[in-house]
Structure 1
Amino acid sequence: MKLWSILLLSLLPLWAQAQEIGERLAPWTLLDQFDQAYSLDSQARFMLVARGMDAAKVVNGALKDKPKDYLQARHGVFVADIQRMPALIAKMFAVPAMRDYPYRVMLDREGRVASRYPAAEDKVLWLQLQDGQLVSRQEFATVEQLKAALENVRP
Structure 2
Amino acid sequence: MKAAALLLLCLLSTAALALEPGERLAPWTLLDQFDAPYTLNDETQILLVARDMDGAKLVNAALEGKPKGYLEQRQAVFLADVSRMPRIIATLFALPKMRDYNYRILLDRDARIAPRYPAAEGKVLWLQLKDGQLVQQQTFTSAEPLRQALEQQGSAN
TM-score (norm 1): 0.92
Change beyond 3 A, Cα 1:14–1:110: farther
User: Aligned pairs, how many?
Assistant: 155
1:93 corresponds to: 93
Runs of 4+ in 1 over 2 A off after TM superposition: 1-18
Identical aligned residues as a percent: 59
SS in 1 for 2:90: helix
1:56 corresponds to: 56
Q: Deviations over 1:100-141 (max 9, x none)?
A: 001000001111111011121111110000000000001111
The alpha-carbon deviation at position 8 of structure 1 amounts to 5.0
CA RMSD after TM alignment = 1.6
1:121 corresponds to: 121
1:1-155 pair list within 5 angstroms: 1-2=1-2, 4-5=4-5, 8-9=8-9, 14-154=14-154, 155=157
Long gaps (5+) in structure 1: none
Long gaps (5+) in structure 2: none
- d(CA) in 1 for partners of 2:38 and 2:96? 18
- d(CA) in 2 for partners of 1:88 and 1:13? 33
TM-score (norm 2): 0.91
- d(CA) in 1 for partners of 2:117 and 2:4? 24
Give the partner amino acid of 1:27.
P
